[in-house]
Chain A
Amino acid sequence: QSVLTQPPSVSAAPGQTVTISCSGSSSNIGKYYVSWYQQLPGTAPKFLIFDNDKRPSGIPDRFSGSKSGTSATLAITGLQTGDEAVYYCGTWDASLSGGGVFGTGTTVTVL
């Protein structure tokens, strides 16, 4: 059961910008770093962002992350058809059950 809430879908035309929100609480996003993953259709998730706003090598700077309070945001600028995918946020959770948590996932559609 996901405890991080994301919008089910966002869309924009090629070249435009989309933002994906990830809403949590003081026991997860409010306390720990957030990471982001891209899952292209029929493939495994791919590592996009770590420590809220850091990009691994090979990830273009069109992808950026930020965090404020108990929410995080992934922005994709200069949208391309190859960006059509489901995007997930993730972090640790300090609640009783503990462990990691993922967001509900957001489908990005390029119009």
Chain B
Amino acid sequence: QVQLVESGGDLVKPGGSLRLSCAASGFSFSDYYMIWIRQAPGKGLEWIAYIGSSVDIVDYADSVKGRFTISRDNAKNSLYLQMNGLRAEDTATYYCARSYGVIINWYFDLWGRGTLVTVSS
């Protein structure tokens, strides 16, 4: 079955850290770009990080640059998001999604169900 399953969401205090995971199955994970997209409660979508099919292409939205790190392990068909220095405004459901690339291929044909991160004291 072609799917993405996120995990790792939790309640964390401001300034804390969290690592999200996304397990891929049913497709050739190493062939695709992967993206983390988040959605604050009642709000719209915001891409926050992407990583190329190999690991040498990464980029981040300004809102998380320097605090979050995206990575992948193609041998384990897994995507990760290390989140440090968490702030209240990082509270959101975090989705991992599959893409064919960036710029002209910037669309997401497969999404996980999401994992909720709550940052609160």
Give the number of residue pairs across the A-B interface with Cβ within 8 Å. 60
Interface size on A, residues (CB 8 A): 25
Given A44-B114, A99-B59, A102-B44, A32 and B108 touching (CB < 8 A)? no
- Residues in A with CB closer than 8 Å to B95 are 44-45
The smallest beta-carbon distance between B6 and chain A, in angstroms, is 10
Chain B residues in 8 Å Cβ range of A24: none
For the side of the interface on B, what is the size category? 20 to 34
Residues of B within 8 A of A (CB): 35, 44-47, 59, 61-62, 95, 102-104, 106-114
Known interface pairs A32-B103, A50-B107, A91-B106; A45-B112 also in contact (CB < 8 Å): no
Chain A residues whose C-beta falls within 8 Å of the C-beta of B112 in the assembled complex: 44
Q: How far is the CB of A109 from chain B (nearest CB, A)?
A: 17
A45 partner residues in chain B, CB cutoff 8 A: 45, 95, 108, 111
